């Protein structure tokens, strides 16, 4: 899996599209959500000696099927009026996360069970390796800062009017 910043940055750029109607930040959150919970739970389970349980948790947060349930549960933490939109937006964000993971090559075997529970066949495009995203991180950061500056300018102009 690429690092969290790469996931965040890609989600951030796409969240700037108008289709998200103010819920772009939910899309960004959905983008890092699978790794955030998998990593935290991975450490917790390994300390408890429950690695097999962690495997099930991984299927819960890193498969399209599992993510539907996971994101559905999380959407209840949002207001009822926007809950459905949050669910769809966050789900799209987390699917983008899986898509980026799928592009990465694996050392031993791929863990992208895209067709779970219908098949345990894994799928990987092998376009880059784990550490390769480190090289593009500075460029992603520059684009992020430009985006933020543009937003700041627009907000400032709006306030002036």
Partner 1 sequence: MLIISCMGIYIDLEVEKRQVTIERCLENPDFNGKVIEVTATLLNKNSEVYRANSSKKDFNLFSKIDLPLNEKIKILGTCRGKQGVDFIKFERFGGLRILKVSISLLGFILCVYVFLRKFQIRLNRFSIFKLK
Chain contacts with partner 1 (rule: CB under 8 A):
3-9, 11-12, 15, 22-26, 28-29, 31-32, 36, 39-40, 42-44, 46, 76-80, 82-83, 105, 107-108, 129-131, 134, 137, 141, 144
Positive or negative CA dihedral for 93, 91, 27, 61? negative
Residue with tokens 């098949």: 119
Structure tokens at 72: 């559905």
Q: How many residues does the chain have?
A: 161
Backbone angles phi, psi at 145, to 5 degrees: -65, -40
Shortest Å distance, C-beta 67 to partner 1: 17
Cα dihedral: 108, 99, 58, 64 (round 10): -130
- Closer residue to partner 1 (CB): 119 or 146: 146
Q: Which of 111, 115 has the CB closer to partner 1?
A: 111
Nearest distance, CB of residue 98 and partner 1, angstroms: 17
Nearer to partner 1, 42 or 64 (CB): 42
């Amino acid at each position: 899996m690429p690092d969290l910043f790469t996931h965040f940055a890609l989600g951030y750029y796409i969240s700037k599209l108008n289709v998200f109607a103010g819920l772009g930040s939910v899309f960004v959150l959905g983008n890092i959500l699978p790794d955030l919970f998998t990593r935290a739970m991975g450490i917790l389970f390994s300390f408890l000696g429950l690695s097999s349980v962690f495997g099930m948790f991984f299927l819960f947060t890193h498969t399209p099927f599992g993510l539907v349930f996971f994101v559905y549960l999380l959407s209840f933490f949002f207001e009822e009026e926007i809950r459905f939109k949050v669910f769809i937006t966050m789900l799209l964000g987390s699917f983008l996360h899986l898509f980026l993971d799928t592009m990465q090559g694996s050392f031993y075997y791929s863990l992208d069970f895209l067709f779970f529970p219908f098949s345990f066949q894994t799928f990987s495009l092998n376009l880059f390796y784990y550490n390769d995203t480190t090289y593009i991180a500075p460029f992603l950061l520059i684009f992020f800062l430009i985006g933020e500056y543009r937003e700041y300018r627009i907000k400032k102009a709006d306030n002036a009017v």
